[in-house]
Amino acid sequence: MLLHLPNVLDHAQIRAMRQALDQATWTDGRETVGPQGAKVKRNLQLPDASPLRAELGKIVLDALARQPLYHAATLPLRTLTPRFNRYEGGGQYGFHVDGAVMSLPGGEQLRSDISCTLFLAEPEEYDGGELIVSDTYGEHEVKLPAGDAILYPSSSLHRVAPVTRGARIAAFFWVQSLIQDDSKRRLLFELDAAIQTLTRTQADPQALLQLFGVYHNLLRQWAET
């Protein structure tokens, strides 16, 4: 499931982040991928140990915590602290699938169920740089306003098109969901959306109670903790 999350960050947050990132020291993005990824990855990233990464990553995660749509779609169990990347001068990332298991601080492991890209540059600031996600329905091009995010299954084949003008700047990270299976997670998301709509329209309380029970019993049956 691809899901667009609008207005995760406001203009003031984006402006402050961009000012900090414009003054940051960037490193070769191939440092955080394996041999296969390194063959097709050409970009820059904030170093993983950078204090700025931790500072800006917290802002991103705090903003997402205030987004009910994000929680409903991801049902997060573990989240990798966001990383930050920069594509310019022809930089790109060829088709790849994200690594299945990633290390968290303290020795914990994260299974990458959901990938998230949060755009920090406006579309008119750069040419190219589309996130292209391939699935059974074809290829989907994503290029969103600054402050907007896209969620998509980490199992998807995807790439970032070459940036031929300007710079594409973004945050990106992965989520391990309580629900590993994407199709089950989508069913729960759609059921939750229906419950929210029926609640707003003051539908029959007894029917709503039944639907609420179905949602939580499915969540109880499928969730991993």
- Under the banding of pLDDT at 50, 70 and 90, the label for residue 106 is confident
pTM of the model: 0.95
Residue range 100-123: mean pLDDT, rounded: 95
Mean pLDDT of the chain: 96
How does pLDDT run across 62-80, given as a tens digit for each residue? 999 999 999 999 999 999 9
Q: What is the DSSP string of the chain?
A: --EEE--SS-HHHHHHHHHHHHTSPPEEGGGGS-HHHHTTEE-EE--TT-HHHHHHHHHHHHHHHT-HHHHHHH-EEEEPPPEEEEEETT-EEEEE---SEEE-GGG-EEE--EEEEEE-S-GGG-EE--EEEEETTEEEEE---TT-EEEEETTSEEEE--EEESEEEEEEEEEEES---HHHHHHHHHHHHHHHHHHHTT--HHHHHHHHHHHHHHHHHH---
How does pLDDT run across 181-198, given as a tens digit for each residue? 999 999 999 999 999 999
Q: What is the pLDDT of residue 34?
A: 80
Residue range 128-153: mean pLDDT, rounded: 96
Domains identified in the chain and CATH numbers: 3-177 (2.60.120.620), 182-222 (4.10.860.20)
